[in-house]
Amino acid sequence: MLFDHELAWKDPSIYREIYANSIASPEKFWEYHCSKLFPEQVFNASFNCLDRNVKKNPNKTAIVWYGDEYCERREITYIKLLEMTQKIASELIRRGIRKGDSVTICMPMIPESIAAMLACCRVGAVHNVVFSGFSSAALSERIFRSSSKVVITVTTSSRGGKIIPLLKNVLNAINDMNVEVLLADYVDDFSLDERAICYADMKYNDTMFTLYTSGSTKEPKRIFHTCGGYQLYSAMTFKYIFDIKEDDVHFCTSDIGWITGHSYITYAPLFFGLKLVIFSGTPMYPNGGRYWEIIDDEKVTILYSAPTAIRCLASLGDEQLNRYNLSSLRVLGCVGEPMNESAWQWYFENIGKKRCPIMDTWWQTETGGIILAPLHNIEYQKPCFASKPFFGIIPGIENDELIIKNKNWPGLSSNFSKNDGEIYHTGDKAMIDNDGDFRILGRIDDVVNICGHRLGTSEVESVVNTLGEIEESAAIGIPHRIKGQVLCIFVTTTTDLTDEQKKSVTEEISSRIRQDIGAIAKPDRVVFIHELPKTRSGKIKRNILKAIGESKGVISYNGKDLDSVINPACIKDIEKSIKYAIRV
Ligand code: PRX
């Protein structure tokens, strides 16, 4: 049986053979890879990412960090990263943190953040990373609901030229909760506790971390991942899909606040002892050449980014780009939202110079690692297709939705059990072509994707509905050239408002959302209407709002849709009102 081959993700016939084996004998397949990747059967991620690599090559660079400003650069070796991790672990132990305890991490993209995650793993604590751009209120809810005893943060961070007062946000968030704050700015001053030299004994099924993501309910969903399954799946997908080599320099532009920052900034690249490049700034500050300069300086071989960033950089033209040499790049990737053809072509031609395959990888917080990605042959690249399932995954389409017909791949979050049925519903719309290649077309549920950030519309609506003037609201995503989607909120009010009042309510909506969720959920526009289109059972007809919001008009809608609305007359009113939408 063929289980492992250097051409596994390149040669279609070898891919097909390994795939067939993985489906025919999944247990054998995963056990084989587990024994190869974890020969010592140690499932502590801190050991796997650090101790193992320090033994092999202590002075190899683990992380190159670039800051917001041009002059900011630091290099951290594997031995130094182990020392930082042990020191943070020492502080956690001193604060009484033990295996199974929950620790929240709210930090920017700096080496200390990666050390903080690994420190939690070292002592067996379950980390709960919260994106540092969330507001105090959103942070507070996530700390409280995770029952964290400690929050690790830093005093301030800077991004795009702006200073973010992280410690202040954290202190506001914890208010009177019984939570201790650990400031990772001072890691060099921490003393080493002997207990942190060892690592906790973690079993395959022990929880490794949790991460909040948005679903279609008001509350964010808390997703759990286990040590063995998660590490096995993230490492395997990374190895094959990015075709990694020992001397690769890996630059993933995501943030540790998201699952991509867990799987493909931290755990899989460090598992293989690679050199990582991390960047705490934005691609546009102080100019659009930041990524290209970093790639040139560090001779980056793998670039894994997001469609929003790619669209944004493509829109700048090639002046900055032409100043740099990108010939070190070997593989390109993107994740988080659907690509569009022109951005794909630009990425392929101008960044990869038609030499680098584009791994348009589809996956989710819940799946732990990549589920669909194209094979590496350059001649067979299909723009915007995530294409093929990873080994052990059986995708399908049911009522336009991408489904996974098995739940036995190791990366799947432990939230999902077979008791809820064999099928995993992804919530994404997809199509499959005659070659069996999948293309993702966006969400089918009430989740929007703004700049690659997943946001539940009911999360936003529940904030909007707290305003006194608002009777009801419905948030939808509408297409945007760069951001993929933006939020458009339809509201009905308790009394008729003047234009001035509407403007001020719009401002209030925007500031309440910033305060309760964070700037990432800021709406693009607010539409004041008299009545939301609803079915007899009271369900809001979002597809009608979407059609109007996208300016398609309801004409393209079939009779069935309109018939199900209790008061079809309200649609004319909405069509009229959209013209007077107030931009935020
Ligand atoms: O809608 C899909 C979109 O991002 C969602 C998952 O979001 P999250 O859990 O935050 O994880 C993002 C990083 C893995 C999916 O349900 N998405 C992710 N990758 C793609 C995508 N949409 C289209 N193409 C992709 N490659």
Closest-CA residue, ligand 1 atom 24, reads 338
Residue 560 pLDDT: 59
Of residues 261 and 546, the one with the higher pLDDT is 261
Between 538 and 252, residue with greater pLDDT: 252
Short-list 130, 125, 126, CA closest to 140: 130
How far is the centre of ligand 1, averaged over its atoms, from the C-alpha of 337 (Å)?
Answer: 5
Instruction: Give the confidence band of 564 by pLDDT, cuts at 50, 70, 90.
Output: confident
| Mean pLDDT (whole number) for 348-371 | 98
For residue 552, pLDDT over 70 is answered with no
The residue whose CA has the least distance to atom 10 of ligand 1 is 454
Contact 222, 146 (CB under 8 A): yes
Mean pLDDT over 266-294 rounds to 97
The protein residue whose alpha carbon is closest to atom 18 in ligand 1 is: 336
Q: What is the rounded CA–CA span in Å between residue 57 and residue 47?
A: 14
Is residue 70 predicted with pLDDT exceeding 70? yes
Does the structure show a pLDDT above 90 at 43?
yes
- The minimum-distance atom of ligand 1 relative to the CA of 427 is 16
Taking the centre of ligand 1 as the mean of its atom positions, its distance from the CA of residue 98, in whole angstroms, is 33
- Which is more confidently placed, 362 or 543? 362
Q: Exposed/middle/buried for 525, CB within 10 Å: 0-12, 13-18, 19+?
A: middle
- Which residue puts its alpha carbon closest to atom 4 of ligand 1? 336
Sheet with 73-77, edge to edge strand ranges: 73-77, 61-66, 275-279, 249-252, 302-305, 331-334, 358-360
User: Given ligand 1 and candidates 449, 459, 483, 520, which is best to mutate, with the most ligand atoms within 8 Å of its CB?
Assistant: 449
pLDDT of residue 217: 84
Ligand 1 geometric centre to CA of 442 (Å): 9
Find out whether 424 and 403 touch, Cβ atoms under 8 Å.
Answer: yes
Q: Is the CB of 449 under 6 A from ligand 1?
A: yes
Of residues 557 and 497, which shows the higher confidence score? 497
How far is ligand 1, taken at its centre, from the CA of residue 458, in Å? 19
CA separation, residue 546 to residues 442, 485, 574 (Å): 13, 12, 11
Mean pLDDT of 487-513: 96
CB 53 within 8 A of CB 267: no
Q: What is the reported pLDDT for 361? A: 98
Kindly report the average pLDDT of the chain as a whole number.
Answer: 95
Indicate the top mutation candidate among 223, 428, 444 to test ligand 1's pocket, ranked by most ligand atoms within 8 A of CB. 428
- Check residue 536 and give its pLDDT: 85
115-145, pLDDT tens digit by residue? 999 999 999 999 999 999 999 999 999 999 9
Q: What is the pLDDT of residues 461-492, one digit of tens each?
A: 999 999 999 999 999 999 999 999 999 999 99
Ligand 1 pocket: which of 385, 440, 451, 520 to mutate (most atoms <8 Å of CB)? Answer: 440
- pLDDT at 51 exceeding the cut of 80: yes
Atom of ligand 1 nearest to the CA of 338: 23
User: Does ligand 1 come within 6 angstroms of the Cβ of 87?
Assistant: no
Average of per-residue pLDDT across 225-242: 98
pLDDT value for 290:
97
Rounded Cα distance between 101 and 124, Å, is: 8
Measured CA to CA, the distance from residue 222 to residue 211 in angstroms comes to 6
pLDDT of 545 > 70? The answer is yes
Residue 402 CA, ligand 1 centroid: distance in Å: 12
Q: Is the pLDDT score of 417 beyond 90? A: no
Q: How far is the CA of 59 from the centre of ligand 1 (A)?
A: 36
Decide: 490 in ligand 1 pocket, CB within 6 A: no
Mean per-residue pLDDT for 70-98? 97
pLDDT tens digit sequence for 153-196? 999 999 999 999 999 999 999 998 999 999 999 999 999 999 99
Q: Tally DSSP H helices, then E strands, for the chain.
A: 19, 27
For ligand 1, whether the C-beta of 255 sits within 6 Å is no
What is the pTM assigned to this prediction?
0.95
* % of the chain beyond a pLDDT of 70: 98
